[in-house]
């Protein structure tokens, strides 16, 4: 059974359509990434799925419960970590855990043992007595996560969990996320960081309230960035790039650092031919290596196509 099933979900505020007929499914234990620029409708969608907002039209089922009809049942089954880590900064770590445990109906020995478990899982070690406000962003983030999973939610919603957190802390955080997913928790995460999206099994791309792309990162790259990516290095590549542009089988030539980012049709071009063409056009000391399309390429290409279609 799908952990999340969304069908033609629509949310209208006044005359602004924040979410426009969005449909998708998320399987149990899947890490699902939800991408899009600010105002694309990511947070509104996540709030509807958490039972915080009622949908205007369409339906969404989370952990088997209809979010419009049974928001309270949904709330018991999910964990939610909002953009601001809404912890009580004046209280110590342990008291935050105790409170959120109590809010989800845990108490006594069950709460104590589960709290110890999530502290271990989230790498909070012996920080129990520290006042939350004195902790670094990365630790607070893991504490917020710990508070959100105390009640063993079946689906975990993370709304931009890694904003304002340093790269090392982000990596640690994702380690915990992958472990949770491995144990069967479904993860629904929105993020600004495209490198993080690579950790997701599948990605949904939102623009202006609509879901414009949905697939695994690899499939998205194949679809939106066809051909092969090469990176060219050397000297005096500027004038040579102009020659390459417009040749049959060359889809894109973009400056990339000191070199060039080339997107070509593999039937017409390979490493050797590209090097020869660049050298002939005046490039010196040319070297070519195969590159990987990034999700950034996918993002831009998908947005471009959506705008053209609109």
Interface ranges with another protein (CB under 8 A): 50-54, 72, 75-76, 78, 80, 82-84, 86-91, 95, 98-105, 107, 157
How far apart, in Å, are the Cα atoms of 303 and each of 153, 204, 308?
34, 12, 9
Among 28, 9, 31, which Cα is nearest to 216's? 31
User: Under the phi-then-psi rule, with left for phi > 0, alpha for psi from -120 to 50, and beta for the rest, what region is 185?
Assistant: beta
C-beta closer to another protein: residue 106 or 237: 106
C-beta closer to another protein: residue 129 or 248: 129
- Tell me the chain's radius of gyration from C-alpha atoms: 23
Per the listing, tokens 């409708």 go with 41
C-beta closer to another protein: residue 103 or 164: 103
Q: How far is the CB of 107 from another protein (least distance, A)?
A: 6
Q: How far is the CB of 25 from another protein (least distance, A)?
A: 22
Q: Which ranges constitute the DSSP H helices of 8-107?
A: 42-49, 71-77, 93-103
C-beta closer to another protein: residue 108 or 248: 108
Q: How far is the CB of 110 from another protein (least distance, A)?
A: 11
The rounded distance, in Å, linking the Cα atoms of 205 and 216 is 11
C-beta closer to another protein: residue 53 or 262: 53
Per the listing, tokens 């043992």 go with 113
Q: How far is the CB of 211 from another protein (least distance, A)?
A: 22
Residues 138, 171: contact at Cβ < 8 Å?
Answer: no
Structure-token pair, residue 12: 């209208």
Q: How far is the CB of 242 from another protein (least distance, A)?
A: 51
């Amino acid at each position: 059974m799908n952990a999340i099933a969304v069908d033609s979900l629509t949310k209208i505020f006044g005359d602004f359509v924040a979410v426009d007929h969005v449909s998708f499914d998320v399987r149990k234990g899947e890490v699902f990434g939800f991408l899009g620029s600010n105002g694309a409708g990511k947070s509104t969608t996540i709030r509807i799925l958490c039972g915080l907002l009622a949908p205007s039209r369409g339906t969404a089922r989370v952990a088997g419960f209809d979010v419009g009809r049974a928001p309270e049942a949904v709330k018991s089954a999910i964990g939610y970590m909002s953009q601001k880590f809404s912890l009580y900064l004046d209280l110590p770590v342990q008291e935050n855990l105790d409170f959120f445990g109590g809010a989800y109906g845990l108490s006594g020995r069950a709460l104590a043992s589960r709290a110890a478990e999530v502290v271990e899982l989230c790498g909070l070690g012996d920080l129990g007595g520290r006042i939350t406000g004195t902790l670094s962003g990365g630790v607070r983030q893991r504490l917020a996560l710990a508070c959100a999973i105390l009640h063993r939610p079946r689906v975990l919603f993370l709304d931009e969990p890694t904003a304002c957190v340093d790269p090392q802390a982000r990596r640690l955080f994702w380690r915990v996320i992958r472990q949770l997913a491995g144990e069967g928790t479904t993860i629904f995460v929105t993020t600004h960081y495209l490198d993080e999206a690579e950790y997701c099994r599948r990605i949904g791309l939102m623009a202006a309230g609509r879901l414009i792309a949905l697939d695994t990162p690899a499939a998205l790259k194949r679809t939106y960035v066809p051909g092969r990516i090469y990176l060219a290095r050397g000297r005096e590549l500027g004038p040579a790039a102009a020659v390459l542009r417009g040749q049959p089988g060359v889809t894109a030539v973009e400056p990339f650092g000191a070199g060039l980012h080339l997107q070509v049709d593999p039937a017409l071009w390979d490493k050797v031919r590209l090097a020869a063409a660049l050298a002939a056009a005046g490039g010196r000391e040319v070297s070519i290596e195969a590159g990987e399309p990034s999700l950034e390429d996918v993002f831009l290409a998908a947005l471009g196509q959506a705008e053209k279609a609109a």
